[in-house]
Amino acid sequence: MTLPSAVGTGLATHGLGGSTDLPIPFIYAMVGASWALTISFAVLALAWKEPRFADEPPNLDPPPRRPSLQVLGLLLAAWGLIALYAGPSDASNGGLQAFYIFVWVGLVPLALAAGHVWRDLSSWRTLTGAGRWAYPERLGYWPAAAGLLAFVWLELASPDPGDVGAVRVWVAVYVLAMLAGGAAFGPRWFDRADPFDVYSAIVARLSPFAQDGRWRMHNPLRSLPQVPVAPGLVAVLAVLLGSTAYDSFSASSFWQGRAVSGAQGTATLIAFCLVVGTLFVVAARATGGVSREERRALPGLLAHSLAPIVVGYVFAHYLTYLVEKGQSAFYALLDPLGRGWAPLGDPDPSFYLSQHTSTLAALKVMFVVAGHVLAVIAAHDRALVLLPRAHRLSGQLGMLLLMVAYTFTGLYLLFSV
């Protein structure tokens, strides 16, 4: 079996696949869980008593988009669309592989390394103007949350995630929606409604290398609280975290041993996202000394603290697929029409991570625990700003316990499959 066809098999059966090939050993899971628990309570009991990361004013005026990246974005989008729509109608399609691997998983390391360059690369922003109407701010991020849910359903719960026809339909609907929304509401549409643009913008706040379109080293814990708060922000992060947890769960022997219908898979995916979001809202509001309006606003004001957990779990869950199957996707894109072109010769991919299971297991645990630690620190520092002094300790207990639960669940799912 050739490498592209092998990757295509994984795409056809489960979108990107999961961690079923390399679950982490039990001892790694227990050590990671112990670290997470110990560090969490140490932060709560011994960390600073006054906020340290709330003194950086937000940049309300985004920098101009860079023309060179706009051109690059148009070229990349055109190449990917040609591969998707003119390439083979099976899972060896380079556009299909790029869609799942580079666009979805690759978005995260790109944003961490280079900031919100998705904004510059977005072809849909380039092709639309200033818009005719003001974006209805009451919609907030809800369109992006719906778009993300539609994507994770396609990848994880649809009858055949590797079906090229289904992906072509999804991408066509997405492109038309982005072009229509951009023409109607201008750049604000992409800031709030484009699922990939919103995802990139949130992750970019964690980049230590780039900020506000400029390359500069900085503390990401200072930029993370600057995620703009709007209705639907919690839903966006709940979909991102809940869907990744569902991906691990659906790869478990418990789930795989059952005859699961499409409706059951869809309902379970939605349930994961709802549980993650509902528990977060309850934990964020579990404090005294605040008014009803302030309590209602707390989940949105603390939602940014979920971003490190999302990023940590994405790396823990998808690292081998990005690094190893990404090589195959790259070679497939060099032959967008499926004509057997090999401009770089026969591919010689590396499977270093899969061949060094102990290293990979340690990396998975490290990513999950690091994401948890950053989340706890971000939530703690923000709580010092938002909560009354008399409730700064007790008001954080619910959120702290929830984050520990998220991390324990993530480690368990990575261990158990």
Q: Hey, what are 331's tokens?
A: 């070679």
392: Cβ contacts below 8 Å, ≥ 6 apart: 49, 383, 384
- Read off the pLDDT band of 14 (50, 70, 90): very low
CB-based contact 224:309 (threshold 8 Å): no
Q: Identify the pLDDT of residue 56.
A: 65
Q: Could you report the per-residue pLDDT of 87-132, keeping only the tens digit for each?
A: 999 988 999 999 999 999 999 999 999 999 999 999 999 999 889 9
Dihedral sign computed on CA atoms, order 408, 409, 410, 416: positive
Among 339, 35, 375, 396, residue whose Cα is nearest residue 206: 375
Per the structure, the count of domains in the chain is 1
pTM of the model: 0.91
Q: What is the mean pLDDT of residues 408-416?
A: 78
Cα-Cα-Cα-Cα dihedral sign, residues 214, 217, 220, 221: negative
pLDDT digit string (tens) for 60-74?
567 888 999 999 999
Q: Would you give the end-to-end CA distance of the chain in angstroms?
A: 25
- Per-residue pLDDT of 178-190, as tens digits, reads 999 999 999 999 9
Q: What residues make up the domain containing 91?
A: 3-416
The per-residue pLDDT for 127 is: 95
% of the chain beyond a pLDDT of 90: 54
Mean pLDDT comparison of 248-262, 279-293, 399-413, highest-scoring range: 279-293
The distance of Cα 340 from the centroid of its chain, to the nearest Å, equals 33
Contact 93, 83 (CB under 8 A): yes
Average pLDDT on 345-354 reads 79
Can you tell me the distance from the alpha carbon of 66 to that of 215, in angstroms, rounded to the nearest whole number?
13
Residues 354 and 119 sit within 8 Å (Cβ to Cβ): no
Q: What is the pLDDT of residue 301?
A: 95
